[in-house]
Structure 1
Amino acid sequence: MQATATVLVYSDDANTREQVRLATGRRPAPDVPVVEFVECATPAAVLAELDRGGIDVCVLDGEAVPMGGMGMCRQIKDEIFNCPPVLLLIGRPQDAWLATWSRAEAAVTLPVEPVEFASALASLLRRTSLQGAL
């Protein structure tokens, strides 16, 4: 298992980014690496960080403005080679079909529910670890 995992968190709302950090804690599950966060408040910052590399999972806020996480997800899936898996934060459970359209690997509803969020993030980190081992 790698020593740390880097999680990019995109939201224009500092409170949402804090909810993600608090729900994750030091690590979302005992069998995944300790998490380090890269926080982004703008779409340009997300693209710059992904171009730089080293991101293991992206957490994107579907309610962000001016560009929501769903549109951002679709764009990075089209433009970033070997795009990391995406966990999308959605406003309502009924928006899950939009998460599928955006090609996100997982989605959870806002406000962040810590147990559900940590479980979804840990699952994506496990998948990333397995792909890295191949």
Structure 2
Amino acid sequence: MRLTERYMNGVWDQSGWQVIPGVGGAQTFAGSDLSITATPDCTLQIAAIGQDRKVWHMTQNRQAVNSSWNTPEWKPGEAMQATALSMTALPDGSAQLVAVGMDGNTRHTLRAANGQWTGFGAVRGPWNRPLGPRASRSPVCSTGGRTA
């Protein structure tokens, strides 16, 4: 994983691409999907799926100092595994993370401004079904012998 910055005026950072260190002292992070967002204090929130399929998260402050990687938990003591993810920051300094789990269903967690994570919860779709890859069928309604 590498990172560079594009300024509001459209110019790219002239120092080039910065290598993001990997988990456990690895030279670089390698994975299949990533999402980056910035909180109002200009802290980058970086979420990525590692080669182990775990969802990993780290921060980088305004001075380009990286935190260590951690894994938001799916259940106590168990890291979330996923195939895709997306993250966005909110004005209060929190960040929302959604991930498509290994079962194909979408899960959501919140990282509070103080760095605490909520547990992943299911995202519900139409008719309160888990939001996943399968097309959901609308209920059949009967009106005078016709179906709607």
Q: Which has the higher helix share?
A: 1
Name which structure has the greater RCO, CA cutoff 8 Å, separation 6+. 1
TM over 0.5: no
Question: Radius of gyration: which is bigger?
Answer: 2
Q: Which has the higher strand share?
A: 2
Q: So what's the TM-score if we normalise by structure 2?
A: 0.27
